[in-house]
Amino acid sequence: MNTVLLAVILIPIVEIYLFIKIGAQIGAFNTILLILFTAIVGVYYAKYEGINTLKSGMTQIIKNQVPAQEILSGAAIALAAILLIIPGFATDIIGFLLIMPITRKLIFGKMNKKFKKKNTKKNDFIEGEFEDIEDDNDRKI
């Protein structure tokens, strides 16, 4: 079965189950407030982390380096913000894990290592031929 289809079916089932279980423990009103609170705090923190990642990426570009970690972090933060906006406890947990810099580095560490291995060759030279042209020569470039 396709993993996207499986996720579309299973995620709402898990979220409904968690709503029922947590709602029975803390009450319906408190559950709704908790969902709104995690969405607001999550989006605010996603904005904060996104700005930090953008600043770090610009620093990498200024240093003439590829901002590979920052690109992955930006994508993870965008996904985390979407997951935090979607009502649910499971998506909130995954969103908060993606938004925290420590867990984000652990999750995407392997992908970053693979990307850096491909870009380890240094090409600090330009190969070519040249010919000196004197001013009194009629040849024009």
Would the pLDDT of 119 be above 90? no
- How much is the pLDDT for 7? 86
**Band of the pLDDT at 72, cuts 50, 70, 90?**
confident
Please name which of 127, 120, 98, 88 lies closest in space to residue 10, comparing C-alpha atoms.
88
What's the chain's average pLDDT? Answer: 84
Residues 6+ apart with CB under 8 A from 5: none
Q: How many residues does the chain have?
A: 141
**Pick from 37, 48, 39, 40: which is nearest to 73 by CA?**
48
pLDDT tens-digit readout, 85-95: 888 999 999 99
Specify the higher pLDDT residue, 80 or 107: 80
- What local confidence, expressed as pLDDT, does residue 19 receive? 92
- Residue 138 predicted with pLDDT over 60: no
- Given this model, what pLDDT does residue 3 score? 87
pLDDT(133) > 90: no
Find how far residue 116's CA is from the centre of its chain. Answer: 17
Residue 141 has pLDDT above 70, yes or no: no
Query: Contact at 8 Å (CB) between 23 and 31?
Result: yes
- Dist CA 53 CA 101 (whole Å): 10
Here the tokens at position 20 are 């029922």
